[in-house]
Amino acid sequence: MPGELRCPLCERALEFSPRPEPCPRCRVPGTFFPTGAGLSGKAPGGQGIWRFREFFPPATPLSLGEGDTPVVESERLGPALGVRLHFKLEGANPTGSFKDRGASVLVAVLREFGVRKVAADSSGNAGAALAAYAARAGIQATVFVPAHASEKKLRQIEAYGGKLVRVDGPRPRATVEAKAACERDPELVYASHNESPYFLAGLRSLAYELAEQLAGQELEHVLVPVGGGALFLGLYYGFRELEAAGLLAKAPRLHLVQARVCAPLASAWEAGEREPKPVDVGTTVAEGVCIPAPPRGQEILAALRTIGGTAVVVEDAEILSAWSRLAREEGLYVEPTSAVAVAGLFSLVRRGEVRPGESVVIPLTGSGLKAS
Ligand SMILES: [Zn+2]
């Protein structure tokens, strides 16, 4: 076993299973911690995220060519803000978003356990990623989507053979319905991008790739749009492991950015609380980060304290402005959710949290081609 499943808060060992139980004491999802030989410092052979398989739960690789996404330097926004800014283009993944990193590992692990049917709730990108990897693995996927999800994403899920269940009402209804379906059908396994430790494990690859691609350059700030927070936590654990292995002088500060209408983590951060309170949400252009009660909330807030980051809230008008500037000034067409972190950078520069000359990386999480 190249690692263990533990509670991220009290470190209690949890059972490695297709349906990993939350910590019985803390009631939070478990996290996979690799105990492998350690990062060697040399780029491992092969391609994509499975180069890093010794840091994933044990599974035969299941790949569509995810990972190894390009890093490009900002031509205009960075210079305009006086910072050294790089983007990591996660829309270049096979289904068009960073979620492929997590879905690849999650479905590979479930296939190893002999799982035949999976269900998840998603506003679109995670559902598309799950449906694609499930198709590859010969597993039936059912995706519970909120009624407001992008039609293009829904068509993509169906094209992969995923079964769509539209759920009226606010986003959390889709989660409730997906879990209820898994309770009714003992063969149906809940494969959540917000809860599964296997999904989260695959996102560490983003930190490992960034460290390779920007080797020799200082890495001071990374800004992340946060809904369920798997991307934030994947980067956090990945960078901390690199730092512990001596491959990175210092982990960058990670900052989380949320949209005003759904900012439970940023609100908890500002109030100095350790646990987010669920919020009522309105609608936002950033549908991908609209998780009113993130299951990993306490883990994220603890990580934010440890890594010396901060939380930022941005308005929809700021998100749309950043989205437009990315396209017009950089030639980067992303979905509005990806622009959340860019809007957050403007705010952090104004607040003096990011200072002139410092280096910033923003993962642009998904392609604009499938946004509404
Ligand atoms: Zn615990």
> What's the gap in Å between 139 CA and the centre of ligand 1?
31
User: What is the distance, to the nearest Å, from the Cα of residue 219 to the centroid of all Cα atoms in its chain?
Assistant: 19
> What's the gap in Å between 135 CA and the centre of ligand 1?
34
Q: Give this prediction's pTM.
A: 0.95
Q: 190 forms bridges with which residues in the sheet?
A: 119
Q: Residues lining ligand 1 (ion), CB within 5 A? A: 7, 9-10, 12, 23, 25-26
- Would strands 140-146 and 117-121 be described as parallel, antiparallel, or unpaired? parallel
* Predicted local distance difference test score (pLDDT) of residue 309: 97
State the span(s) of the chain assigned CATH 3.40.50.1100.
71-97+197-370, 99-190
Contact of 367 with 94, CB cutoff 8 Å: no
> What's the gap in Å between 164 CA and the centre of ligand 1?
34
Least trusted range by pLDDT, from 77-81, 227-231, 244-248, 328-332: 244-248
Query: Which tokens in the block code for residue 138?
Result: 């010969």
> What's the gap in Å between 228 CA and the centre of ligand 1?
19
> What's the gap in Å between 295 CA and the centre of ligand 1?
13
State whether residue 259 is helix, strand or coil.
Answer: strand
pLDDT tens-digit readout, 170-217? 888 999 999 999 999 999 999 999 999 999 999 999 999 999 999 888
Q: Report the C-alpha gap between 63 and 277 in whole angstroms.
A: 37
Alpha helices in the chain (DSSP H): 77-81, 99-112, 125-137, 151-159, 172-184, 197-213, 230-244, 264-271, 297-307, 316-330, 336-351
Question: Which CATH code is given to the segment(s) 71-97+197-370?
Answer: 3.40.50.1100
Half-sphere exposure for 74 (CA within 13 Å, toward CB): 25
- Bin 249: left if φ > 0, else alpha if -120 < ψ < 50, else beta: alpha
> What's the gap in Å between 266 CA and the centre of ligand 1?
23
Q: Report the C-alpha gap between 310 and 140 in whole angstroms.
A: 40
> What's the gap in Å between 13 CA and the centre of ligand 1?
9
> What's the gap in Å between 229 CA and the centre of ligand 1?
18
pLDDT, mean of residues 259-282:
90
HEC readout, 325-369: HHHHHHCCCECHHHHHHHHHHHHHHHHCCCCCCCEEEEEECEEHH
Half-sphere exposure for 25 (CA within 13 Å, toward CB): 9
> What's the gap in Å between 24 CA and the centre of ligand 1?
7
- Report whether pLDDT(1) > 80: no
- Mean pLDDT of the residues in the chain: 93
Contact of 286 with 150, CB cutoff 8 Å: no
Would you say the C-alpha torsion 183, 105, 340, 268 has a positive or negative sign?
positive
Fold (topology level) of 99-190: Rossmann fold (3.40.50)
> What's the gap in Å between 302 CA and the centre of ligand 1?
13
> What's the gap in Å between 10 CA and the centre of ligand 1?
4
* Predicted local distance difference test score (pLDDT) of residue 45: 66
pLDDT tens-digit readout, 328-352? 999 999 999 999 999 999 999 999 9
Confidence band (pLDDT; 50, 70, 90) for 305? Answer: very high
**DSSP states along 205-258:** HHHHHHHHHTTTS---EEEEE-SS-HHHHHHHHHHHHHHHTTSSSSPPEEEEEE
Least trusted range by pLDDT, from 35-39, 229-233, 325-329: 35-39
